Structure 1
């Protein structure tokens, strides 16, 4: 079996709904994704599209009153080739899912200052993960903590272990967060906007670090961002999300050279490119709708320049395969393909 066919985690019709007094807030509404061993899946979209909530569902850390539905099948390390565990069926506070968090699935959170405890040292927090999943020997845990901080390029790691998060710079906190996520050599690393608020030099170092660790440990990476430049650099496959749904899902080359969904095209047209210096960048008018009590039809209908009244706003749009390994959620793309088939 090739690396590209070796699926380590599969999501089927995953939904994360928040039952509020005003109605049901559908933060994630029927997501299907596959994570392959040693590959990077990029998840891109505007703020409010459900990217981070999808990652929270994987770790079963969705805050109340959120409820996770669907299937999230994880091929556990050391398990038989046909054995998988459904994370949705596990108790979010149970021992089995706690054994998986940090050990087999780890996460680099978007805001290290908020993710770290302000009243515990960095060393205390990194060593806690090592003591839970790797060794119960405190001296060995300390040695491993120093080693992982050195691997992520932290200067004077012994001193950093005794410091509190507020004593570190933004770049150092991000490196410490990466170190904690990688301290147990996870099978899957979720990176949620890992370069946010970092200067360009540190961003490049963090991205290179993630790529090096992926190559050395055959780790699968889920890279969540709104930066298409980073997606082009880091990803093997890309899922474009909008309003809690995947609207386009393909390999990174096809996404940039043959985008199909109007939202994907609009995102690509909104970034600078060589050869378009004298052209005004396009913008996507409006904002992502609030995901509650939504009307039938395509979620992008109100912002789409190609939308057709009576077609795009009549019924919910399915995600269909328009070419091999290229899926799109758009009725107009389906119509174009059918017309092309008739002509040929």
Structure 2
């Protein structure tokens, strides 16, 4: 990547494979992504499609025996004037440089804050730890930053919450505390891995509004991972639809909802409940996502696709085809009318 002010992170041919006794499990298999400054990239797909493993690969926190390959090119704050980039794949996953990037340059809101927070340390202690690691070595200053950050995410009774443990907070408060910890060091990129899971609808709306508001205030880029297309419509500028470890469609959010071309994307859109479908059965996608090991050649969606052509779709692996500027589809039928 030629580092520019518009692109914060570029991912090229990213793979995350787990070498097991049974074979190679291809959780992420050749993903390309571009994250622009101040924009939100939505990553959507069914459970098991590789969304969360992709986010783990960006932070180099993939558990063993996972192996990350490809390129993750980060335009770091300190290097922007020099037009330099850092390839995160080449860094030692346990080294000082990647530890400086985690939290400092790229932060993450985990799917389940109850598991992400330490149960034996207070909320304030855990947020201060991140600040002391990346921003200042003054504990009094770190506490002040932590309090201000908790206030910025709408936490009530902040002085009291600083001394409480994760189990003492409600689900919405824990999620706010997780967002505060992620934002405490003013990262360039925020990865939100299904941050509204297990929250009631009202709290979900509050969390989504909060992320959008903080993104605008801090000129931050967001990678929003979800299986909810309604959230994608609300939050995203660009969207990557993933299936079986690959990006099958990549475009802007308006084109996704009004001009999607991949059969999987269309099937997802058709399964959304709508007011004008009253008394009609919801459409579903037959079958399940195949286990990503020892897969046959061809399109991963072949066994579930109503438009699949034998001898074409299952013959060779399908590349991303450029339909138009900013719109790529992994389907040999992408340029034909699939309706």
1:51 aligns with 2:51: yes
- How far is 1:333 from its partner? 1.4
SS at match of 2:146: helix
- How far is 1:276 from its partner? 2.4
SS at match of 2:174: helix
Residue equivalent to 1:340: none
Residue equivalent to 1:341: none
SS at match of 2:78: coil
1:264 aligns with 2:258: no
Q: Distance in 1 between matches of 2:45 and 2:161?
A: 35
Q: Distance in 2 between matches of 1:225 and 1:16?
A: 19
| Contact 2:238-2:250 at 8 Å conserved across structures | yes
Q: Distance in 2 between matches of 1:212 and 1:171?
A: 17
Residue equivalent to 1:75: 75
Q: Distance in 2 between matches of 1:242 and 1:95?
A: 34
| Contact 2:125-2:162 at 8 Å conserved across structures | yes
SS at match of 2:276: coil
- How far is 1:292 from its partner? 0.2
1:205 aligns with 2:206: yes
Q: Distance in 1 between matches of 2:112 and 2:82?
A: 36
SS at match of 1:56: helix
1:185 aligns with 2:186: yes
SS at match of 1:332: coil
Q: Which moved more, 1:28-37 or 1:161-170?
A: 161-170
TM score, norm. by length of structure 1: 0.95
Residue equivalent to 1:95: 96
Residue equivalent to 1:137: 138
SS at match of 1:267: helix
Q: Which moved more, 1:19-28 or 1:152-161?
A: 152-161
Q: How does 1:213-224 map onto structure 2 within 5 Å? A: 213-224=214-225
Structure 1: gaps of 5 or more residues = 338-344
Q: How does 1:1-344 map onto structure 2 within 5 Å? A: 6-79=6-79, 80-334=81-335, 336=336
- How far is 1:280 from its partner? 2.2
SS at match of 1:275: helix
Q: Distance in 1 between matches of 2:313 and 2:56?
A: 31
- How far is 1:272 from its partner? 1.1
| Contact 2:321-2:334 at 8 Å conserved across structures | no
Aligned residues: 333
TM score, norm. by length of structure 2: 0.96
1:97-117 Cα distance to aligned partner (Å, 9 max, x none): 000000110000001010001
Structure 2: gaps of 5 or more residues = none
- Describe the shift of the 1:226–1:158 C-alpha distance in structure 2 as closer, same or farther (beyond 3 A): same
SS at match of 2:10: strand
